[in-house]
Every structure is written in C-alpha cells, then in structure tokens.
Amino acid sequence: MSDAKPVISGRSSSSASFASIVFRRMLKNPFAIWGGAVVLLLFLVAALAQVISPYDPSSVDTGIILHPPGMKHWLGTDELGRDVLSRMIYGARISLMVGFVSIGIATIIGVVIGAISGYYGGWIDEVMMRFVDLMLTFPVFFLILAVIAILEPSITNVMIVIGLTGWMGVARLVRAEFLSIKQRDFVFAARSLGQRDSLIIFRHILPNAMAPVLVSATLGVAGAILTESALSFLGIGVQPPTPSWGSILTEGKNYIEFAWWLSLFPGLAILFTVLGYNLLGEALRDALDARIN
C-alpha cells in the first residue's frame, strides 16, 4: 500500500502564486510603498540605534539645557541637557516592542477564541460572543487607564494590558472566517477521515483564515504605538529614564512656549509612524482582496 496521505487542507501550489500576486499588487500601490518605507525606516532606526545615535540618550549635560536645534544637537536638547535625537532613536525601539508584543498577545488570544467559537458554534459560540460583546462595552482606553493605575506603570505592564484589551476585533474576524471555511469540502473530507478537531482547526482551516488577521495586526500595531504614547504622555506608561516618544512629549509640554522642538519632533514621529502602518495595512487589505484583478 502507498503511504501517501491525501491533501485535504485546500492549500496547494497556488499559494505561492497568490503570494506573488499580492506582492505585485503591493508594489503597484503607492500607499503601500510609502507605508512600507516608513515601517522599514523605523525598523532600521531601532535596529541600529547604538550605531546611529550621536549621544547616550541618558547622558545629562547641565551646560546645554533646552538648547535649540543646531549642528551639534540636530533636534535640540531637553530640560536636563539630553540629546533629543538620541532619545527619539532609542524611543523607536520602545514603540516597536510595545506594538509587536502587545498585538502578538492580542492576536493569539483573538485567534484562539475566534477559532473555537466559529468552529464549534452552538452554545459555545453564543457564550464566547456574548463575552466579546461584554468586553466591547468598556471604553478600551479608559479600561487600560484603570488597570495601569492599579498596577505598577512599566513597559511590561503596558504591553500586557494593551494586548489583553485588544483581542476582540481579531476574535470576530477569525470567527467569521471559520463560519465560512468550515462548510467547504476539504473540511468535510478531513472530518470523514477521522482527524482531530484541533488538527482541522489549526492545520486546515486557520491557514486559510489568516488574511484578515494579518491586516488587523498591521493596523493594530499603529493603534498600540499610539496608545503607548498616550499612556506615556499621561505619565503612566513607560517610566523615566527609559526614552519614549510619549514621555518626551510630556517633558516638552511645560516648555512649549520656548522649547517647541520637544513637542514637534516626537509628535511628528508618532504621526508618521502611525500613518505608515495604517497605509501599509490598508494596502495589504486591498492586495489580499481576491475580487481585485
């Protein structure tokens, strides 16, 4: 007898060709190019922070307090004489870390809950979706504020709390995909062969349901970065002396009348980063749409 196993996952060699189609669509989209360029630049800045940073971000020099932008300090200095450019470069690392870790947590939770709910349906689906509805009734940002206020403010707590309060949209997306995909022939074939539910969910259905999850995750990174910046601005996010864009904004609000650079440059960094991720996410959504030729 042959040991060959039948292919029932619905995924074939066409997957590679579809990936190439998506890539070509992305290259033709100017928004994808601009968004990808911003994201790539952010990655390079974060990865090469120790190389490209002109000064130690924590180095204090009382002789150059609130020095305006110039040849020695391109983006000026803060109220302690620290180089703003160096602090923003290291702050990019914080933004990426918070964005990817928190959205990673949210995506894992949302995928598991959405997959179980959509696959089994019935009372399991009803209970899980009512729990999702309950979570959605809370204003997310105020929920994060409440939890962070109870816990000790730190980058770890910020990432965990953002992740634990941001999974509901992913759960709904995955559930909707599972409700559709589980009715296809390759899923019925897997069941008829007696394969376990866990194998059917994670090997056969989930890979075919990941397209909207990728888009949601890309857009979610922008939201997480914005949330972290807001928390740091309020003083309950990343704590000094760790540099973050939100904390630089907080330090600058007391000197905005004569030290404008402390508010302008981190504000622009947050703006372009969030815009870049949003443009990339929207372009990815269009590229993954099978209805577009």
Boundaries of every domain in the chain: 20-53+98-288
- Band of pLDDT at residue 267, cut at 50, 70 and 90: very high
Q: What is the pLDDT of residues 35-47, one digit of tens each?
A: 999 999 999 999 9
pTM of the model: 0.86
Q: Quick check: 143 and 86 in contact, CB under 8 A? A: no
Q: What is the pLDDT of residue 15?
A: 57
Q: What is the pLDDT of residue 243?
A: 87
Q: Tokens at residue 11, please?
A: 């995924």
Question: What integer is the mean pLDDT of 145-163?
Answer: 84
Query: Within 10 A of 133 (CB to CB), how many other CB atoms are there?
Result: 11
- Band of pLDDT at residue 291, cut at 50, 70 and 90: low
Whether residue 242 has pLDDT greater than 50:
yes
Q: What is the pLDDT of residue 4?
A: 43
Question: What integer is the mean pLDDT of 203-214?
Answer: 88
Closest CA to 57 of 280, 259, 266: 266
Whether residue 7 has pLDDT greater than 80:
no
Q: What is the pLDDT of residue 10?
A: 45
Percent of the chain with pLDDT over 70: 93
Question: What integer is the mean pLDDT of 158-173?
Answer: 92
- Band of pLDDT at residue 8, cut at 50, 70 and 90: very low
How far, in Å, are 143, 153, 177, 188, 266 from residue 231 at the CA level? Answer: 12, 9, 33, 48, 14
Q: What is the pLDDT of residue 140?
A: 82
The listed CATH number (3.30.450.40, 1.10.3720.10, 1.10.10.10, 1.10.540.10) that belongs to domain 20-53+98-288: 1.10.3720.10
- Sign of the torsion angle spanned by Cα atoms 33, 102, 178, 138: negative
Whether residue 175 has pLDDT greater than 80:
yes
